[in-house]
């Protein structure tokens, strides 16, 4: 089982490492997404190219890889699902193909939560949507959802392993948002544009 978990962890990490935002933007003729906006490879930065369908597809695929990793490893049991959850998120945050400089983990983390603890995933998504609607700061919404997720996991599950997994995920996402948090505190963070006139 230890050997299987190791193989599964590597597979989940490599799946998480697929930079869909970068690949899709290049295929669409948009160049290197890392040279646009924040330089991030995630859906929010893809949105800054003005291509909303591409941003939506990036969001969907980044979330899907998180869910797929958890669902496949989950066939081996709850411990394997937990390993898959952390490994696929680490792959997205620190992809081997990009010198370990990846995304912020919001979409992939959401996909993980929806497959691992779906009520927590839905509520965290609701928090993200509410904060974005109120402020138009994607990063602030991500920070709020990351903080809320472990609390929700503890209230809904109460089991040590799932709560620990969600705490680790939240910490990783918050660490990757440290620059955004700094810009938010200085009033320098960029708001997302949902329409041409927004």
Calculate ∠ Cα 180-186-189, nearest 5°: 45
Over the Cα atoms of the chain, what is R_g?
Answer: 16
pLDDT of residue 104: 92
Contact 56, 42 (CB under 8 A): no
Report, as an integer, the average pLDDT of 101-106.
91
Please give the C-alpha separations between residue 13 and each of 27, 53, 125, 128, 150, in angstroms, as whole numbers: 23, 26, 23, 25, 22
Q: Tens digit of pLDDT for each residue in 69-85? A: 999 999 999 999 999 99
For residue 127, name the pLDDT band (cuts at 50, 70, 90).
Answer: very high
Cα 65 to the chain's mean position, in Å?
10
Q: Tens digit of pLDDT for each residue in 140-160? A: 999 999 999 999 999 999 899
Could you tell me the two tokens for 168? 């680790």
Please tell me which of 18-22, 31-35, 40-44 the model is most confident about, judged by mean pLDDT. Answer: 18-22
Which residue ranges make up each domain of the chain?
2-186
What is the DSSP annotation of 175-197?
HHTHHHHHHHHHT-PPPP-SSTT
| Global pTM value | 0.91
Contact 37, 51 (CB under 8 A): no
């Amino acid at each position: 089982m230890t050997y299987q978990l190791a193989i599964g962890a590597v597979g989940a990490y490599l799946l998480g490492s697929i930079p869909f935002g970068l690949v899709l933007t290049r295929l669409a003729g948009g160049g290197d997404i890392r040279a646009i906006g924040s330089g991030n490879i995630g859906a929010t930065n893809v949105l800054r190219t003005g291509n909303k369908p591409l941003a939506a597809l990036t969001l969907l695929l980044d979330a899907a890889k998180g869910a797929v990793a958890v669902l496949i490893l989950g066939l081996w049991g709850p411990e394997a699902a937990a390993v898959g959850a952390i490994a696929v998120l680490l792959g997205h945050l620190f992809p081997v193909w990009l010198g370990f400089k990846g995304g912020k983990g919001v979409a992939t983390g959401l996909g993980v939560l929806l497959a691992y603890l779906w009520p927590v995933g839905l509520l965290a998504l609701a928090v993200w949507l509410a904060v974005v609607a109120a402020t138009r700061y994607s990063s602030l919404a991500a920070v709020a959802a990351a903080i809320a997720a472990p609390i929700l996991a503890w209230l809904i599950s109460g089991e040590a392993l799932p709560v620990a997994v969600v705490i680790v995920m939240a910490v990783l996402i918050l660490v990757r948002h440290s620059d955004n948090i700094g810009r938010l505190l200085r009033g320098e963070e960029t708001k997302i544009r949902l329409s041409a006139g927004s």
